[in-house]
Every structure is written in C-alpha cells, then in structure tokens.
C-alpha cells in the first residue's frame, strides 16, 4: 500500500496547493525532482486540478463565445499534456512490474495502470471537493446540484483506505 499511499499524499498535497490560490493561471513549483515518478504525479495532478476548474468556467451559460473557444483550445492542450503524462506513468508501471508473470486466467478489467491509478486516487480527492461545494452559496446551481448528487452515496465514507488497497499490488 506504500506506493498508493505515496501517490494519494501527492494528489492531496497538490490539490491543497491549488486551493491556496484557486487560480487556473497560477504557476506552481513542483517540489519533486524532475525525472521521478513523484514529479510526474504532481504535474499530472496539478493539470487535473486546473482542468476541473477550467471545465467549471466553460460550463457558464453566459460565457463569451470567443472566450469559450480559447478556453476549449486550452483544455484540449491540457488533455494532450495529461495523456503524455499518463503514457509516461504507464511506462513506469510496465518497467516496475516487468518481472511479474500474469496468471493464465488473468483479464484486463480497466484502463491502463496509470489511468486506473488516477481514476481511483483522483476520485478520492474529488469527493471532499464536491462535499465542500455542496456547502458553498456562491457557486452556480448546476455545480452544486451535481456535487450533492456525487456526495449522496453512503458507500464513499472509507474511500481513501479502500482505494489505496484496491490499487496497491498484493505482496
């Protein structure tokens, strides 16, 4: 569980770092050494945090069409950066577990290892954000409504530990 916990901690810290400014144009210094998986995880999560907020902005029904187009192009570039990082992370996992022989009855039941990691860990960070949004009054009604819907399940309470166990390889 150490690897997953490390990733979770990076994701959580990155999300907290974003909310220090709540600014999609903020520049952040990546605290991890360039070329490490931690550096890539931090950078990927920063892109996700910014992109969530860009997508909130572009959903504004009163957005200027010219601004919306520029924002859409920015989101497209961001998606390409995300995909490139996911491929880098997939390479990391492929190399890390290259000596593992899959069982003959093993099946692939999800995305690539990197997308699976991000989907589950990002979800664990996103839920508290959604819960916080349900309490804010200065947000658009559709954002609050979708946040309330996402936070209404009783199954999400022990999420962090469960997700870390789900994505960590068994010893």
pLDDT > 90 fraction of the chain, expressed in percent and rounded: 26
Domain ranges of the chain: 2-167
Q: Which helix (H) or strand (E) holds 122?
A: helix 113-135
What is the per-residue pLDDT across 100-151, written as a single tens digit (0 to 9) for each? Answer: 888 888 877 666 767 766 666 666 655 555 555 555 555 555 454 444 444 4
Is residue 14 pLDDT above 50, yes or no? Answer: yes
- Asked if residues 124 and 156 have their Cβ atoms less than 8 Å apart, the reply is no
Q: Is 11 within 8 Å of 123 (Cβ atoms)?
A: no
- Does residue 98 have a pLDDT over 60? yes
Provide the pLDDT for residue 75.
94
pLDDT digits (tens, 9 = 90+) for 62-72: 999 999 999 99
């Amino acid at each position: 569980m150490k690897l997953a916990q490390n990733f979770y901690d990076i994701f959580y810290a990155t999300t907290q770092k974003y909310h220090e400014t709540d600014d999609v144009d903020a520049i952040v210094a990546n605290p991890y050494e360039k070329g490490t998986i931690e550096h890539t995880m931090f950078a990927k999560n920063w892109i996700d945090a910014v992109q969530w907020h860009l997508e909130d902005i572009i959903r504004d029904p009163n957005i200027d069409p010219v601004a919306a187009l520029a924002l859409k192009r920015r989101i497209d570039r961001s998606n390409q950066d995300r995909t490139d990082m996911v491929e880098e992370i997939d390479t990391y996992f492929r190399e890390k577990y290259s000596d593992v022989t899959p069982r003959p009855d093993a099946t692939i039941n999800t995305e690539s290892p990197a997308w699976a990691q991000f989907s589950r860990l990002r979800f664990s960070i996103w839920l508290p954000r959604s819960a916080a949004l349900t309490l804010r009054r200065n947000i658009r009604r559709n954002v609050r409504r979708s946040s309330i819907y996402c936070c209404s399940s009783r199954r999400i309470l022990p999420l962090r530990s469960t997700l870390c166990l789900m994505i960590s390889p068994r010893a």
